[in-house]
Structures are given as structure tokens and as C-alpha cells.
Amino acid sequence: MRRLPIYLLVLASLALFFSASAGANEAPAPDAPFKPDVGANQGVAIFAGGCFWCVEEAFDQVEGVVSTTSGYTGGHLADPSYRDVTAETSGHAEAVKVVYKTDEVDYATLLDTFWHNIDPTDDGGQFCDRGDSYRSEIFYVNDAQKKAAEQSKRALQDDPDAPSPIVTEIVAATTFYPAEDYHQNYYNKNPLRYKFYRSSCRRDAVLEKRWGAAAGGHH
């Protein structure tokens, strides 16, 4: 058998090495199961409730929340941009990833905050923002969250004083893509523009109509 020159063997080995490395570093697919990236005594919750600027603000006010990140999830396009998502071609929703201290706040409290900051009866978007990318949705990251979310939804459906019908979906969390930097913490970085947007979108007016004194949840 004829042997290959040593330099060809070295090149072949290097090619295999870099190919394996590239595969190991490859980004997860859009529909890959979400993997929580937090340490001990912390949890992750993901919610979509229309404009992620507003959802961020709501959860930032909850004691025990460590951080909030605006982003995109639930679609089929890898690494989407804001333009991709709002064009309604990526399948993603504007969403917020909430990192929280599990010994300071529980998932049930986060669910309560979520419900009272959205219009769960709207299946065409949220408030003035229309389209599937502005849908309301709960993305559970484990079975315990799924069970808690389903129980909270049933409780609202059985409550004669709650908005009806509840159309918010509960689905398994998949890859979460952080949004562009200018979207992060937008309500603090651009307070005047944010307040004008929120007011003109009638978000607070609709929340009060749907939830009354409970609008806004646990702040």
C-alpha cells in the first residue's frame, strides 16, 4: 500500500480538527431547546407580551429580578434582526428573558406580573402593535414552569372577574436571541420617547380596562 507523504497526513489531521471545532462552536438552531445560562439559586423565565421595552420595565420593578434582556424567540430564522422580526417573516416574537433569584421571588409571582401587564384576550398583537411578532406567549424552560403556567392560565379562565377569553399560548422555550443593544433598557435610556410611545399606544389605559386596580401586577 502506498503511503501518503507526511505533510498530507498533517494537513488532513488539521482539517479534521478544525471541522470538529467548528461543529462544537456552532450556534444552536432556532428551534433548539432553550438551555438556562444562570448559576445556582437563579432561574430564567421567558415571556412575550408585545413591545419588549414595556415588558422589560414591568419585570425590572419586581424584587428578586436580577436582569431582563429584550430579544427574539419562538421562530424559524437563525440570528434574526429587529427588521426580520417586525417584517413578520421570521416567526419570532418580541420577548424578554428574566433572570431571577429563586430564594427571593418565585415563578408564580412572575406569572402574575406577566398576566397583569398584557391583554391576554388579544390574538392579533398587543395594544397598538399588531402582528404575530407582538403576540403574548409564555415560554417555559422546564416541566415545573409548564405546570405552573398552565395552572395560572386555568385559574384566570375560571375567574369571572378576569379578562376573557384567554388566548395567550404556553409553549416550550427555544433558542433566545438578544435584541440589538439600543433596545436593551430602552425605557431608561430614552425616557421621553418611551413615555410618548407607551401613552400613544394606550397600553396603560387598556391594562386598566382589562384588570382594573390589579393592572401592572406586583411592582
Which positions are catalytic?
51
Residues paired with 15 in a beta bridge: none
The owner of cell 406567549 is 137
Contact of 45 with 145, CB cutoff 8 Å: yes
Contact of 142 with 34, CB cutoff 8 Å: no
CA neighbor of 48 nearest in space, from 160, 167, 157, 193: 167
Which grid coordinates are listed for 91? 416567526
Longest dimension (CA), the chain: 85
CB-based contacts of 91, cutoff 8 Å, min separation 6: 30, 74, 75, 76, 77, 132
- What is residue 83's DSSP assignment? H
CA dihedral 18, 19, 22, 28 (to 10 degrees): -160
